[in-house]
Homo-oligomer: A and B are copies of this chain.
Amino acid sequence: MNKDTTVGLGLHDVARMLRREFDRRARAQGLTRARWQVLWNLSLREGIHQAALAEIMDVAPISLTRQLERLEEEGLVERRVDQTDRRRLRLYLTDQAAPALESLRELAMGVRHQALAGIEADDIDILVRVLGRMRANLCQRTEKEE
């Protein structure tokens, strides 16, 4: 109806539904989507420290801290003090993380399959491209106007 509001609200709703569906399926595994996402990003850059990972994920550092605390409790992540700068904690996955990552990746593919049913491959490519551009447009880190 009012097209001006369709994009933002639509994205918001679909993202919430995806999260809900994922978490519903993943409940048996004991991991939520948010924690899985941290594991996933971390798996690409082991040894990174928290602030840097938070910046890459464009999440507030404190948000990441809490996820990492739980992941550490659950034995999936290890945090070691950086000896060259003792403020920093370097992050590593444990052996337990690999199977968890794999099973959640499969689960995510299942949700993805449900969500994208009946949508043209070309349109999915466009979706991914547009999301990337939107992310860049919004990522301008708080755009400190001095």
Contact = CB atoms under 8 A, between A and B. Distances in A.
Contacts of A37: 9, 12
Contacts of A12: 15, 18-19, 33, 37
Interface of A: 1, 3-19, 21-22, 33, 37, 40, 44, 57-58, 105, 108-109, 111-112, 114-119, 123-124, 126-135, 137-139
30 contacts: A3-B128, A4-B109, A5-B40, A5-B108, A5-B112, A7-B115, A7-B116, A8-B108, A8-B111, A10-B135, A11-B18, A11-B131, A12-B15, A12-B33, A12-B37, A13-B57, A14-B15, A17-B139, A18-B134, A21-B138, A114-B137, A114-B138, A119-B130, A119-B133, A119-B134, A123-B126, A126-B126, A126-B127, A126-B130, A127-B127
